[in-house]
Copies of this chain bind each other. A is one copy, B any other.
Amino acid sequence: MRNKLCAAALSVLVLSTATHAQEMKGDVAWDILAGLTSEVGPRMAGSEAEARARVWAQTRLTALGFTGVASEPFPIRGYVRGRDEASLTAPMPFRLAVTALGYSETTPDKGIEGDVVYFATLDALKAAPAGSLNGKIAFIDHAMKRSQDGSGYGPYGQVRRAGPSIASTKGAAGVVIRSIGTDSHRNPHTGVTNFPEGVKPIPAGAVSNPDADLIARIAGSGKPMRISLTLTGKTTPNMTSGNVIGDLVGSDPSLPPILVGCHLDSWDLGTGAIDDAAGCAIITAAALKAQEGGKLLRTIRVLWAGSEEIGGFGGKAYADKHTEPHALAMESDFGAAKVWRVNTNFWTSNKVLADRIADSLSPMGIVRGSGPVEGGTDVEPVIEKQKLAVVDLNQDGTHYFDLHHTPDDTLDKVDPAELAQNVEAWSRVLKIVGNEPGVIAP
């Protein structure tokens, strides 16, 4: 940079950190979001930090007036991150921005090194002959693009979920993928991968998109490429995770409750602000806001689930334990951007109720959807088991996969106004379904 600029003396400096913390103090949703990210920090499934988060959650829910607040532990097979390092060693030395994927195999401390075989797509990898990757490191590219409904994550996410195990079956010593994300920052996107029974786990990492661009350019040049990969994390059985639940008891406790879910655990690279402290903030603040005109007829139960990220274990544990009947379930786990669409699985079976929900959201610019409902990982097991009614409040996911599972998932990424819009939309829905005396069913 030009050095003449340096000469200017600095007489007055005004402190202006980019936090909204002060202006938002006293806002329930913001306080939960800021607290989980700034007082607890990252909350990996099964970790000491996730346990601290459960204590924090119980204290906070109790202080907010929830009753029956409980921590419900369950055992998991977790993943404990170690040292994540990767470098190109040919055609030039270059340190890559890498993260291990959850359940990656552990490398030796000095890492592994191998020739790179580049696959432009997962289908290209699938087409590789058996044994053709023996001793090599597979690199899997893909072409995920941003979309409002996040629909690229299902198909392109398969590169992360299934790519490593497919590479293993072809003999690969390790695998590196282009991050499942839509940004162009040197922040890799982590997430879980899976090696099915009978498939040998191999070291599996993701590099940032700019790093993947570089690898693709080198692959395009035809120059031989080698990668050194060090991922010392370990898959670890017998860790303890847990859910936290709390109720706002309705005036008729004999009616089945409304279940609203989020997940308390987060990946460890960032502080889990958009994934999913924001969800816990939204559902909890909305449950309280829905009571502003008086107690609802039905109980609203919040579920802050554990271990969503590495296999949805919290949702399964909840469904197994809570066999008492529920009326309806919802989840917030798609960031903190505005709700733009509402969907239910009872548009036809309970048209009157569904129309009332859609009509209450329409003035906020929220449109009616027609696709299948999604529910969310943490409530899906109980939805399936009990055949529950579901309302989805779809958030704008245009920028979600810029941040998802990266070091960049931090508090500053949340717009307080968008967070508040979520709380408002959720509270409108909860007020309607919470005061519905009749049967609510899909």
Stretch at the interface among A294-302, A405-413, A425-433: A405-413
- Residues A408 and B186 in contact, CB atoms below 8 Å apart: yes
CB closest chain-B residue, reference A143? B16
Q: Which residues of A contact B (CB under 8 A)?
A: 1-10, 12-19, 21-22, 34, 37-42, 49, 52, 91-94, 97, 120-123, 141-143, 145, 150-151, 153-158, 161, 184-187, 209-210, 212-214, 216-218, 220, 269-271, 275, 312, 331, 333-334, 372, 374-377, 380, 404, 406-408, 410-413
CB closest chain-B residue, reference A215? B17
A108 CB, nearest partner CB in chain B, Å = 19
- Residues A410 and B210 in contact, CB atoms below 8 Å apart: yes
Residues on B with C-beta less than 8 A from A153 are: 1, 5-6
- Residues A217 and B19 in contact, CB atoms below 8 Å apart: yes
A307 CB, nearest partner CB in chain B, Å = 13
A49→B375 CA distance, assembly (Å): 52
Q: Given that A92-B41, A141-B15, A220-B21 are contacting pairs, would A186 and B1 also be in contact in the complex, using a CB cutoff of 8 Å?
A: no
Residues on B with C-beta less than 8 A from A49 are: 92-93
Most chain B beta-carbon contacts within 10 A, residue among A5, A12, A220: A5
Name the one of B5, B22, B93, B186 contacting A150, with C-beta atoms under 8 angstroms. Answer: B5
A148 CB, nearest partner CB in chain B, Å = 13
- Residues B186 and A8 in contact, CB atoms below 8 Å apart: no
Name the one of B2, B92, B97 contacting A374, with C-beta atoms under 8 angstroms. Answer: B2
Residues on B with C-beta less than 8 A from A8 are: 151, 154-155
- Residues B94 and A41 in contact, CB atoms below 8 Å apart: yes
A332 CB, nearest partner CB in chain B, Å = 11
A155→B38 CA distance, assembly (Å): 30
Name the one of B13, B380, B411 contacting A123, with C-beta atoms under 8 angstroms. Answer: B13
A152 CB, nearest partner CB in chain B, Å = 9
CB closest chain-B residue, reference A402? B185
- Residues B413 and A184 in contact, CB atoms below 8 Å apart: yes
- Residues A120 and B13 in contact, CB atoms below 8 Å apart: yes
- Residues A13 and B375 in contact, CB atoms below 8 Å apart: no
- Residues B5 and A184 in contact, CB atoms below 8 Å apart: no
A331→B12 CA distance, assembly (Å): 31
Question: Nearest 4 CB-CB pairs, A to B?
Answer: A5-B154, A13-B121, A186-B407, A15-B120
- Residues A185 and B184 in contact, CB atoms below 8 Å apart: no
Q: Given that A13-B122, A184-B18, A216-B17 are contacting pairs, would A5 and B151 also be in contact in the complex, using a CB cutoff of 8 Å?
A: yes
Q: Given that A34-B217, A217-B38 are contacting pairs, would A143 and B184 also be in contact in the complex, using a CB cutoff of 8 Å?
A: no
- Residues A2 and B377 in contact, CB atoms below 8 Å apart: yes
- Residues B187 and A1 in contact, CB atoms below 8 Å apart: no
- Residues B41 and A93 in contact, CB atoms below 8 Å apart: yes
What are some 20 contacts across the A-B interface (CB < 8 A)?
A: A1-B333, A1-B377, A2-B334, A2-B377, A3-B380, A4-B375, A4-B380, A6-B161, A8-B151, A9-B155, A10-B156, A12-B123, A13-B123, A13-B142, A15-B120, A16-B143, A40-B92, A94-B271, A185-B185, A186-B410
Residues on B with C-beta less than 8 A from A376 are: 2
Name the one of B14, B184, B312, B410 contacting A412, with C-beta atoms under 8 angstroms. Answer: B184
- A6-B157, A14-B143 known, 13 other contacts, Cβ within 8 Å: A1-B404, A2-B376, A3-B377, A5-B374, A6-B153, A8-B155, A16-B143, A18-B213, A38-B217, A41-B94, A97-B407, A185-B408, A209-B412
Residues on B with C-beta less than 8 A from A212 are: 17
Residues on B with C-beta less than 8 A from A150 are: 1, 5
